[in-house]
Amino acid sequence: MKKSTLLLLLLCLGCTHKPNKINITISLTDSNHSLKIVGFDRLVIADIGRDSLTGAWQSFLPVYRMPADTDLKDYQKAQPGNYTIKDSIVVFTPDTPFRKDQAYFLRYYQYDKDADLWHQIKEKKRIGSLSYTDLIFKY
């Protein structure tokens, strides 16, 4: 009985799905008027692009202006703007142009990182809290 239970456990652990690591990079484009976001799988981009909700990209890849006191980053309002898709590239163009010498950041929520329960336990995270990375850029 113990051998069959151990075999079943090993089989289940071997079958767990491990998502591919996503490496997001950003750069200013269009004479520093837009932000180019690269690193997503083309199918993921197409799937999100079919979402009829206009705020889908705003909630997935919000862009913020960096406050003078960086401790207040979590309290900033997202920069309004338009997201367009070109192949596997997402381009964000703000409603108001980026200001010279002003730092901004793109907050990338790492949905792929929080996909399994083991990660939640290992990182001592609360269920429902998402990991994110802030990618800082300056015009």
Which domains are assigned to the chain?
Answer: 19-138 (2.60.40)
User: Which stretches does DSSP call E strand in the chain?
Assistant: 25-29, 34-38, 63-65, 81-86, 89-94, 103-109, 132-138
Q: Name the percent of the chain lying above pLDDT 70.
A: 67
Tokens of 88: 């596997």
Which residue in the block uniquely carries the two structure tokens 């705020």? 55
Q: Which pLDDT belongs to residue 122?
A: 58
To the nearest whole number, what is the mean pLDDT of the chain? 77
Indicate yes or no: pTM above 0.85.
no
pLDDT digits (tens, 9 = 90+) for 72-98: 999 999 999 999 888 889 999 999 999
d(CA 76, CA 79): 9
